[in-house]
Each structure stands twice: as C-alpha cells, then as structure tokens.
Amino acid sequence: MKTRNPISTIKLWAITATAMILTAAFQSASADTEIYQKTLLSTTWVLAKSEGQTSSGAGVLVDAEKKLVITNAHVVGTARAAVLFFPEVKDGVPIVERSHYLDNVKKLGVRGRVVCVDRKRDLALIELDRIPEGSVPIALAAESVKPGESVESIGNPGTTEALWVYSSGTVRSVYKKAFSTGAGEHDFKVVETQAPINSGDSGGPVVNAQGELIAIAQAISPKARLVTYCVDIAEIRGLLEGPWKPAPLPITDVLTKADLTWKEHTTGHLEVSFEQKDKSTQTVFVSRETEYFERADVRRVWALASTAKQAPTTEVMMDLLQQNARTKMGAWTVEKTDQSEYLIIYCVKLDATASPDAVKSTMEYVAQLTSVSKKTLQPKQDSQTASQTLDAWLAK
C-alpha cells in the first residue's frame, strides 16, 4: 500500500488555499470593475459659478424622465445654473483628462438649472436640458446600508488631474447627525465610512455591492483620519419624494432683474438708494447671504433710521413697539455698536425665493417707512406731528 507524503499533502492544501484566495480576489476585482462601469454611466462632473468663483464637484443622475441630477447643496452654492459633463467612454475606458471636457464644452457640456436646494440635508437637484446618449439613471437602494458593508464611490477630486476616480471602503456606522461645515448647519442621517473623500468628490454616488445608490458623498471629518460622511439614501428619497422648494436666486441676479442699481457695501451686503417724495435719498440694504431654518430660506432687508450716542428714551421705545403692531411687514430693532452708538433700524425678513418684483416692493416699503420715521426720531422735531405723519402713512 502506497503512503502519501505528509509534506506533499500540506503543499497541496497550501496550493489549493492560495488558488481559492486568488480566485476570490479575482472575482472581487471583477465585481468592483463591473460596479464601477455601471455607476459611471450615471455619474457627472458638476461645475457651478457663484459669487465670482467656480466650484467643482460630482453628481449622479437619479431620474431620466425628469432629467434630474442630485448633488450637494454646497457644490452649487448660490448658483442657479451649472454645466455638467457625463463621462465619454472609448473602448470601455472613460476619458479622465479634465482638459478634454473643457476643450469640448460645446459638444460634451450639458446645461443644468438648479431647481431645488435643501441646506439641512446639503442636497440639491439640477434639471438638465438633455441627457447624453448612453447615460442611465442610477438605481436607488430600498433601505440604508449597514455597518460592516463594503461601499464604492466615484468622484472628481481636485487633488488629481483625473476625473471619474474610484474609491472603496467600509461603512463604520449609520446615524442621525447635526453638524456644521463651511456651507452652514446640517442635520441628516449620515453614512459614516472610512473611504477617502477629497475636495471635488462631494455629490458623487456611493453604491453598495449591487451598484445601488446608498448615499451621496458629503464631507470629511477634520478631526479624525479616514472618517467621511455621506448623505444616506433615506434623505435622498425624502427630497425626491417630497415637495420641492425652489432654490433662492443670488441677490445680485434678483436686483438686476428688478431694474435696481446696487453697489456693494464694505460688509459684503448690497445697498440700493431710493429717492423719496421730498427729494431726499434713503439707502436700503439687503443681505447677500440667505438665512435658513429647516426648509425656510429668508433674506434680510433693512435701513437705518437713526444713530445716537444715548439709548432711545422710553417714550421712543414705546412708540416703536406700537408701530411694530401696525406695519405691513417687518419690525423696528435697536442695536448697540462696538463704539457704544445706538442704531434704530427697520428690518424685514423676506422669503428668499420671492420674485424680483416682490423684493423691489419690499425695499421701497422699507425706504419709505424709514424715511418718514426719521422725523419722529429727530429730537428737535415736533414728535406729535411726526408721529401723526407716520401713522397716516402706515394706514395706507
């Protein structure tokens, strides 16, 4: 009877195990390549210009019928138009050089209109003029990914000259998170991973092993290594399935469309001068940035009525409070400066999605109200006569 050599048996097992490992690795690599190629057909490069600067990020096609691409709100900023590129693929390989797309922008660029912004979720929707041939919407996962699962993503990091860059990692946790970034205050369900995200990857698709969208790349943790945050699919579905809120226009565009001449103040806010009936001029300010809470976006419009070294008297304060109850919009406020001066300001907080005509009417109202009120706030004026003048104007 022939006896098998134990050493040969061990070698055979080692060879078999190695073969199995190599086969699994090959299958895994093949699967990753397949997912990359599949996700690539839905991924975009997003370029948006706001406040004189061009931002670059990624996006993903989520609805072919409505021609919608989803990205991060901080990618588009205050821009309400964008140019998007889908990857051009030759022989199964995407062209990754940025210059190729910029040099062929008329052929490859797709115009987009920002139709919805949700700063709380840091998400935005862009409606495209057209969808290039071969581009397909990504499939949305039915539920959130779980810790320990592998995820893959595609982005356009500014740290490299290449587009359509592949990354992979593992989910660390999924939870609700409230935090701040340079783009504002956020509160949404995050997918925390250890997959690398760089500037320019924001808005890119994060997919599971089936190539389904499970999140949108959002930010990195500045205090930890390999900790990245992504917007969970539940938030994405919530935006797509809920009522859309129009995206506020940049205030410079609003004022231009309202045929108002404006200039920039040293604070960065914008100011417009309005001539009054008595030929005096009243300056009205409007904030460049919008304020928001949840889905509410507002824009401040205000004008200065008085500056004094002494605090307003009780009589003046009571008069202002009474006027607040009768004004059509807005209210009086008293602020103390670092130089210990007291400013009496009339301020309106206007829906940031209001039309240019509505913004113009609001600014005219603030100008007229403040101009009339100056007479009340001048100490040498007959306060009773000035107050009657203001009351008559408010009653209109």
Structural contact between residues 84 and 69, judged by C-beta atoms closer than 8 angstroms: yes
The answer to whether residue 29 is domain-embedded is no
The answer to whether residue 9 is domain-embedded is no
pLDDT recorded at residue 386: 44
pLDDT recorded at residue 340: 87
- Of residues 3 and 151, which shows the higher confidence score? 151
**From its phi and psi, is residue 52 left (phi > 0), alpha (psi between -120 and 50) or beta?**
left
- Of residues 358 and 222, which shows the higher confidence score? 358
Mean predicted confidence (pLDDT) in 191-214: 92
DSSP 8-state assignment for residue 162:
B
Q: Which of 241, 261, 288 is the last residue of a domain?
A: 241
The Cα 393–Cα 383 span in angstroms is: 15
On the question of pLDDT at 309 being above 90, the answer is no
On the question of pLDDT at 230 being above 60, the answer is yes
CA 320 → CA 125, 225, 389, distances in Å?
A: 43, 54, 14
For residues 317 and 222, membership in a common domain is answered with no
Q: Which residues contact 370 (CB under 8 A, 6 or more apart)?
A: 282, 284, 303, 304, 305, 346
The answer to whether residue 81 is domain-embedded is yes
The answer to whether residue 33 is domain-embedded is no
SS3 for 48?
A: strand
For residues 52 and 194, membership in a common domain is answered with yes
The answer to whether residue 2 is domain-embedded is no
On the question of pLDDT at 222 being above 60, the answer is yes
Domain extent for 268 = 251-394
Q: Which residues contact 162 (CB under 8 A, 6 or more apart)?
A: 96, 97, 98
- Largest pairwise CA distance in the chain: 127
- Per-residue pLDDT band for 339 (boundaries 50, 70, 90) equals confident
* Percent of the chain at pLDDT exceeding 90: 57
On the question of pLDDT at 280 being above 50, the answer is yes
Sign of CA dihedral 35, 214, 84, 182: negative
pLDDT recorded at residue 365: 95
Mean predicted confidence (pLDDT) in 290-302: 84
On the question of pLDDT at 247 being above 70, the answer is yes
Tell me the pLDDT of the chain averaged across its residues: 86
Cα three-residue angle 148-20-12, rounded to 5 degrees:
140
For residues 72 and 214, membership in a common domain is answered with yes
pLDDT recorded at residue 388: 52
For residues 84 and 208, membership in a common domain is answered with yes
Question: Strands 123-128 and 110-118, how do they pair?
Answer: antiparallel
pLDDT recorded at residue 248: 81
3-state helix, strand, coil in the chain (%, to 5): 30, 35, 35
The answer to whether residue 26 is domain-embedded is no
pLDDT recorded at residue 22: 41
The Cα 279–Cα 273 span in angstroms is: 12
Task: Give the CATH number for residue 166.
Answer: 2.40.10.120
pLDDT recorded at residue 184: 80
On the question of pLDDT at 85 being above 80, the answer is yes
On the question of pLDDT at 19 being above 60, the answer is no
For residues 377 and 268, membership in a common domain is answered with yes
pLDDT recorded at residue 25: 42
pLDDT recorded at residue 9: 54
Structural contact between residues 352 and 298, judged by C-beta atoms closer than 8 angstroms: yes
DSSP 8-state assignment for residue 142:
S
pLDDT recorded at residue 158: 84
Report the 3 state secondary structure along 70-132.
Answer: EECHHHHCCCCEEEEECCCEECCEECCEHHHHHHCHHHHCEEEEEEEEECCCCEEEEEECCCC
pLDDT tens for residues 260-273?
999 998 888 999 99
Mean predicted confidence (pLDDT) in 124-128: 96
Report the 3 state secondary structure along 254-287.
Answer: HHHHCCCCCEECCCCCEEEEEECCCCCEEEEEEC
pLDDT recorded at residue 3: 55
Structural contact between residues 40 and 58, judged by C-beta atoms closer than 8 angstroms: no
For residues 329 and 363, membership in a common domain is answered with yes
Q: Which residues contact 116 (CB under 8 A, 6 or more apart)?
A: 124, 125, 239, 244, 245, 246, 247
Q: How many domains does the structure of the chain reveal?
A: 2
Task: Give the CATH number for residue 358.
Answer: 3.30.1460.10
- Per-residue pLDDT band for 7 (boundaries 50, 70, 90) equals low
- Residue 52 has which token pair? 């004189």
- The predicted model scores a pTM of 0.72
- Per-residue pLDDT band for 375 (boundaries 50, 70, 90) equals confident
pLDDT recorded at residue 196: 82
Residue with tokens 């990359």: 36
Rank 22-36, 98-112, 177-191 by mean pLDDT and report only the highest. 98-112
Q: What are phi and psi of 83, to 5 degrees?
A: -115, 130
Indicate the range of 10-14, 30-34, 117-121, 167-171 predicted with least confidence: 10-14
Mean predicted confidence (pLDDT) in 304-313: 88
- C-alpha Rg value of the chain to the nearest Å: 29
Structural contact between residues 183 and 167, judged by C-beta atoms closer than 8 angstroms: no
For residues 258 and 382, membership in a common domain is answered with yes
pLDDT recorded at residue 349: 94
The Cα 19–Cα 392 span in angstroms is: 92
Helical residues (DSSP H) of the chain, grouped into ranges:
6-40, 73-76, 98-103, 105-108, 233-241, 251-257, 314-326, 356-377, 383-394
Structural contact between residues 54 and 45, judged by C-beta atoms closer than 8 angstroms: no
pLDDT recorded at residue 160: 85
pLDDT tens for residues 22-70?
444 444 455 688 999 999 999 999 999 877 789 999 999 999 999 999 9
The answer to whether residue 58 is domain-embedded is yes
- Residue 112 has which token pair? 């987009």
- Per-residue pLDDT band for 11 (boundaries 50, 70, 90) equals low
